[in-house]
């Protein structure tokens, strides 16, 4: 049975009139292209890190920042992207984000040093935050009733496929054209997306321009996330009990407290903390954190193992990740029906259970085992991702009124990217510790991967439990 909040959210957003001659499913195509480009970038770089290292230099921590610099700005600016969309129009913010993403992609491809690359991908993440934070709101606006579930399923399936296919495409591009083309190929996709948005999306009639943006909240959240990731990255080298690392953790806590205080006082906060009184809303954020914080950060360390001790090329590495991508595509064709039958909350929780089980199946590596020991786990993980990501967006906006869809979208995307960025840093600390203990030998890679698989599987299963508990009593 639907809750009152669900009925309100589903009924209060009237269908928009045709946005132009290509109205219909073209708006979701524009959204899907943007999501594909953005989430592909999150994982496509993972298999290119060895090539970037050979070309530009830098140690392991610097290379982690090539991925984390993107993920951090993507996480830190999601809320301000959602808030800006609610105030100035989701179409305007979406197109602005796509354009900024394209410009930063060009700068990333031309970067002469690792530092310049980290700076460019950080700007790329900022553009990604603006467009990503508005995608759920655009779907909610253009697709009322039964078509909304289908549109959410399309967006979620594209997100899962993009994240999982990233290593394969990254390997093929790096091997065939060079790592810089990972960024250059964003340009034609961005151009098509902007054209589609201009033709099929229309400006909102009454964007809310009455309140100033909560820049103080955005600054406090950004500082907290950066300090947390720095602490996780510096822990092994400086010592987890060192003054430097303890001060970084303390700074992260102070930044988080400052963010909460600012949100309480601001007349138009980035995040209305009262939303967390709604159990299902909180469950959606837990699910987002667990989904993105479990599997996707592992691509970085699996790629290092494949291209290090195992000696595979970037393309050969990406081909092995097809075992995750294929089940996502297969399950994605069924998700819309499953959402209607079982409800989004139950489907997300079930997907996280499958994802966690698959990650625990990966804990089978030993000094003499090869990558084929991972095949059963890869297949189960792909099914779990295919069940989890498509309904996650629908769960995020199902309990808020239309005026807060942008905020709800931004919050959910923020939690996803926090999971991704802290996962890279946290798993990296565990992986680097084991690698150091083995003096960089093959045993260190295997032991490190087994540890992070265990942690990631536990994260997914805990996320499933909490999501199920927080969503009790809801059907759709």
H/E/C letters for each residue in 215-229? HHHHHHHHHHHHHHH
Encoded tokens for 284: 């959606």
Residue predicted with more confidence, 159 or 294: 294
Give me the chain's average pLDDT, please. 80
Residue predicted with more confidence, 309 or 127: 127
The reply to whether 197 and 219 lie within a common domain is no
CA distances from 317 to 299, 321, 441 (A): 10, 7, 20
Calculate the dihedral angle through the C-alpha atoms of 228, 229, 235, 241, rounding to the nearest 10 degrees.
0
Distance separating alpha carbons of residues 138 and 155, to the nearest angstrom: 11
Is 476 part of a structural domain of the chain? no
Categorise residue 202: left if φ over 0, alpha if ψ from -120 to 50, beta otherwise.
beta
Final residue in a domain of this structure, among 227, 243, 265 = 265
Is 133 part of a structural domain of the chain? yes
The CATH number assigned to the domain holding 177 equals 1.20.1250.20
Task: Give the residue-averaged pLDDT of 366-372.
Answer: 78
The reply to whether 256 and 175 lie within a common domain is no
For residue 405, which of 281, 259, 263 has the smallest C-alpha distance?
Answer: 281
Final residue in a domain of this structure, among 265, 296, 329 = 265
Sign of the torsion formed by the C-alpha atoms of 92, 84, 423 and 456:
negative
pLDDT, residue 335, reads 75
The reply to whether 359 and 426 lie within a common domain is yes
Residue predicted with more confidence, 445 or 397: 445
Q: pLDDT band for position 42 (50/70/90)?
A: confident
pLDDT exceeds cutoff 60 at 18: no
Distance separating alpha carbons of residues 182 and 174, to the nearest angstrom: 7
Q: pLDDT band for position 257 (50/70/90)?
A: very high
pLDDT, residue 354, reads 94
The reply to whether 209 and 242 lie within a common domain is no
Task: Give the residue-averaged pLDDT of 88-111.
Answer: 92
Task: Give the residue-averaged pLDDT of 64-87.
Answer: 79
Residue predicted with more confidence, 419 or 123: 123
Is 160 part of a structural domain of the chain? yes
Categorise residue 24: left if φ over 0, alpha if ψ from -120 to 50, beta otherwise.
left
Is 332 part of a structural domain of the chain? yes
Q: What is the percent of the chain where pLDDT is above 70? A: 88
Other Cβ atoms closer than 10 A to 458? 15
Is 42 part of a structural domain of the chain? yes
pLDDT, residue 440, reads 63
Residue predicted with more confidence, 146 or 272: 272
Residue whose pair of structure tokens reads 């260190």 in the numeric block: 444
Q: pLDDT band for position 145 (50/70/90)?
A: low
The reply to whether 254 and 276 lie within a common domain is no
Is 331 part of a structural domain of the chain? yes
Which stretch of 146-155, 324-333, 443-452 has the lowest confidence by average pLDDT? 146-155
Residue predicted with more confidence, 319 or 402: 319
pLDDT, residue 211, reads 60
Number of domains in the chain: 2
Is 475 part of a structural domain of the chain? no
The reply to whether 330 and 421 lie within a common domain is yes
Q: pLDDT band for position 209 (50/70/90)?
A: low
pLDDT, residue 16, reads 43
The reply to whether 158 and 219 lie within a common domain is no
pLDDT exceeds cutoff 70 at 210: no
pLDDT, residue 454, reads 92
pLDDT, residue 413, reads 76
Task: Give the residue-averaged pLDDT of 85-92.
Answer: 82
Residue predicted with more confidence, 60 or 412: 412
The reply to whether 89 and 140 lie within a common domain is yes
pLDDT, residue 186, reads 92
The reply to whether 138 and 165 lie within a common domain is yes
Distance separating alpha carbons of residues 358 and 381, to the nearest angstrom: 5
pLDDT, residue 12, reads 37
Residue whose pair of structure tokens reads 């009262």 in the numeric block: 274
Highest mean pLDDT among 102-116, 150-164, 411-425: 102-116
105-130 pLDDT, tens digit each: 999 999 998 889 999 999 999 999 88
Distance separating alpha carbons of residues 373 and 363, to the nearest angstrom: 9
Q: How far is CA 34 from the centre of its chain?
A: 13
Say what the pTM is: 0.72
The reply to whether 195 and 224 lie within a common domain is no
Q: What is the percent of the chain where pLDDT is above 90? A: 18
Residue 241: partners with Cβ closer than 8 Å, 6 or more residues away: none
DSSP SS3 for 438:
coil
The reply to whether 240 and 355 lie within a common domain is no
**Range(s) of the domain holding residue 304:** 4-214+266-470
The reply to whether 204 and 249 lie within a common domain is no
Is 416 part of a structural domain of the chain? yes
Q: pLDDT band for position 218 (50/70/90)?
A: confident
């Amino acid at each position: 049975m639907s809750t009152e909040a669900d009925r309100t959210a589903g009924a209060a957003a009237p269908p928009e009139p045709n946005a132009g001659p290509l109205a219909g499913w073209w708006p979701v195509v524009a959204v899907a292209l943007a999501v594909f480009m953005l989430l592909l970038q999150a994982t496509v770089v993972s298999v290119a890190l060895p090539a970037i290292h050979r070309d530009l230099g830098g140690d392991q921590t610097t290379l982690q920042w090539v991925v984390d610099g993107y993920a951090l700005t993507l996480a830190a600016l999601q809320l301000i992207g959602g808030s800006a969309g609610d105030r100035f129009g989701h179409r305007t913010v979406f197109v602005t984000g796509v354009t900024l993403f394209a410009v930063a992609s060009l700068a990333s491809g031309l970067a002469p040093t690792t530092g310049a690359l980290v700076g460019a991908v950080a700007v790329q993440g900022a553009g990604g935050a603006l467009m990503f934070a508005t995608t759920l709101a655009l779907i909610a606006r253009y697709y009322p009733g039964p078509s909304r579930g289908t549109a959410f399923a399309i967006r979620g399936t594209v997100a899962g496929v993009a994240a999982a296919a990233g290593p394969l495409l990254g390997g093929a591009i790096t091997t065939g054209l060079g790592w810089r083309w990972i960024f250059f190929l964003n340009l034609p996709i961005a151009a098509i997306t902007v054209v589609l948005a201009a033709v099929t999306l229309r400006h909102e009639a009454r964007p809310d321009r009455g309140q100033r943006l909560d820049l103080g909240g955005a600054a406090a959240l950004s500082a907290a996330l950066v300090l947390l990731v720095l602490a996780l990255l510096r822990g092994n080298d400086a010592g987890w009990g060192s003054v430097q690392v303890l001060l970084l953790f303390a700074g992260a806590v102070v930044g988080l407290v400052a963010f909460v205080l600012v949100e309480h006082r601001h007349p138009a906060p980035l995040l209305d903390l009262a939303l967390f009184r709604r159990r299902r809303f909180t469950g959606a954020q837990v699910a987002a954190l667990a989904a993105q914080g479990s599997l996707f950060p592992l691509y970085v360390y699996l790629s290092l193992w494949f291209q290090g001790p195992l000696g595979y090329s970037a393309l050969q590495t990406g081909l092995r990740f097809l075992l995750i991508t294929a089940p996502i595509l297969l399950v994605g064709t069924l998700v819309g029906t499953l959402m209607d039958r079982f409800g989004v909350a139950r489907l997300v929780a079930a997907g996280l259970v499958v994802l966690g089980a698959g990650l625990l199946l990966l804990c089978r590596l030993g000094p003499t085992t090869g990558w084929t020991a991972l095949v059963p786990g890869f297949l189960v993980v792909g099914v779990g991702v295919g069940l989890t990501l498509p309904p996650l967006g629908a769960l995020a906006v199902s309990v808020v009124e239309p005026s807060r869809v942008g905020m709800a979208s931004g919050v959910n995307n923020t939690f996803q990217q926090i999971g991704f960025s802290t996962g890279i840093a946290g798993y990296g600390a565990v992986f680097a510790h084991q690698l150091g203990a083995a003096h960089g030998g093959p045993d260190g890679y295997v032991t490190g991967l087994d540890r992070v698989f265990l942690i990631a599987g536990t994260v997914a299963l805990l996320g499933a439990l909490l999501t199920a508990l927080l969503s009790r009593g809801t059907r759709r």
